[in-house]
């Protein structure tokens, strides 16, 4: 068996920026074990797999450690592959996922706009466990699918050096840290060591929690966000009540072939 594979830098208009994701189009689903082994071999934060089903595409995401229910940058990457490499002609692609149907629109140029759920975060007491894990005490703490720690300044967020072992023992899928931005409405970083991802470069799904919080705090619907990882990435966001729009560019870094031939001998 041979499979096409693409590596796409999401939330970046240039290679080596944003968040890299692998995308593997399939004609039909293979075993979950094989999907997981491919994701582990890729050793990226996410590998996206999709299968065409009528007018929409079933989409799944795997980290090196397991399947997740929602991933933003790999969704952006999958849509980019359909638009740029597979001749998808419509202006909107519909993905059926564990988190419901997700819509990705092609805007001007290489910018893609994703329609995702909005997650309201509930206030949570700042605990000593969280403070020790992050190395600094946040001014506020919230919980949705993820923890979200709010700091007062962008510099605090950028200077954090979390204890990943302690972070991995906290509840929730990820630890989001955020603060008001100096040149953007807000900045963030995301840590997910329990998923095999010490720091995720740009995390679309984290903005399902970030956008509603900052929209209310800043009193505005349209937000410019920056994820302040080493690679970094800018996201254009809009709060729509129970949904959020998350937009950004994507660029192809590599196209290749996955060889899944079993048996035989070397050099045969």
Q: Are residues 20 and 81 in the same domain?
A: yes
pTM for the predicted model, two decimal places: 0.88
User: What is the total count of domains within the chain?
Assistant: 2
**Whether 73 contacts 112, CB under 8 Å:** no
Q: Are residues 133 and 221 in the same domain?
A: yes
Which residues form the domain of 212? Answer: 122-239
Q: Are residues 99 and 176 in the same domain?
A: no
Q: How far is CA 51 from CA 2, 56, 62, 98, 105, in A?
A: 15, 9, 15, 14, 19
Residue 267 above 70 pLDDT? Answer: no
Q: Are residues 173 and 206 in the same domain?
A: yes
Residue-wise pLDDT tens digits, 83-102: 999 999 999 999 999 999 99
What integer is the mean pLDDT of 182-211? Answer: 95
Which CATH number goes with the domain that contains 190? 3.10.310.10
Across all residues in the chain, what is the average pLDDT? 94
**Whether 63 contacts 195, CB under 8 Å:** yes
Q: What is the CA radius of gyration of the chain?
A: 19
Residue 261's H or E segment, with its range, is none
Q: Are residues 129 and 234 in the same domain?
A: yes
Of the candidates 117, 92, 149, the one whose C-alpha atom is nearest the C-alpha of residue 239 is: 117
pLDDT score recorded for residue 268: 38
Q: Are residues 17 and 89 in the same domain?
A: yes
pLDDT score recorded for residue 107: 81
pLDDT score recorded for residue 261: 75
In a domain, 268, yes or no: no
265: confidence class by pLDDT, cuts 50, 70, 90: very low
What integer is the mean pLDDT of 122-143? Answer: 96
Other Cβ atoms less than 10 A from the Cβ of 86: the count is: 11
Token pair of 181 as six digits: 């931005």
**Sign of the Cα pseudo-torsion (132, 136, 139, 140, in order):** negative
List CB contacts of 173: < 8 A, sequence separation 6 or more.
Answer: 68, 145, 146, 192, 194, 195
pLDDT score recorded for residue 262: 53
Q: Are residues 85 and 23 in the same domain?
A: yes
Of the candidates 2, 3, 8, the one whose C-alpha atom is nearest the C-alpha of residue 24 is: 3
In a domain, 244, yes or no: no
Query: Which residues does the annotation mark as catalytic?
Result: 46
Dump the DSSP string for 110-156.
TEEEEEEE--PPEE-PPPHHHHHHHSS--SEEEESSSEEEE-S-HHH
Q: Are residues 97 and 53 in the same domain?
A: yes
In a domain, 266, yes or no: no
């Amino acid at each position: 068996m041979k499979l096409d594979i693409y590596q796409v830098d999401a939330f970046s208009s240039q290679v080596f920026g944003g968040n890299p994701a692998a995308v593997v189009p399939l004609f039909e689903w293979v075993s979950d074990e094989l999907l997981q082994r491919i994701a582990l071999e890729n050793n990226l934060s996410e590998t996206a797999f999709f299968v065409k089903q009528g007018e929409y595409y079933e989409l799944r995401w795997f980290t090196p450690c397991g399947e997740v229910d929602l991933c933003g940058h790999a969704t952006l990457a999958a849509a980019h592959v359909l638009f740029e490499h597979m001749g998808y002609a419509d202006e909107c692609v519909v993905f059926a996922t564990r988190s419901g149907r997700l819509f990705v629109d092609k805007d001007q140029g290489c910018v893609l706009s994703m329609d995702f759920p909005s997650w309201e975060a509930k206030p949570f007491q700042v605990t000593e466990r969280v403070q020790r894990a992050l190395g600094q005490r946040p001014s506020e703490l919230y919980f949705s699918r993820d923890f979200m720690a709010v700091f007062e300044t962008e510099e605090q967020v950028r200077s954090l050096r979390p204890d990943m072992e302690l972070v991995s023992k906290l509840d929730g899928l990820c630890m989001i840290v955020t603060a008001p931005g100096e040149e953007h409405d807000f900045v963030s970083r995301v840590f997910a060591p329990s998923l095999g991802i010490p720091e995720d470069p740009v995390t679309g799904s984290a903005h399902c929690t970030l956008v509603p919080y900052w929209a209310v705090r800043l009193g505005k619907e349209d937000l410019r966000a920056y994820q302040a990882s080493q690679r970094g990435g800018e996201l254009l966001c809009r709060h729509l009540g129970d949904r959020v729009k998350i937009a950004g560019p994507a660029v192809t870094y590599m196209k290749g072939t996955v060889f899944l031939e079993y048996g035989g001998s070397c050099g045969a």
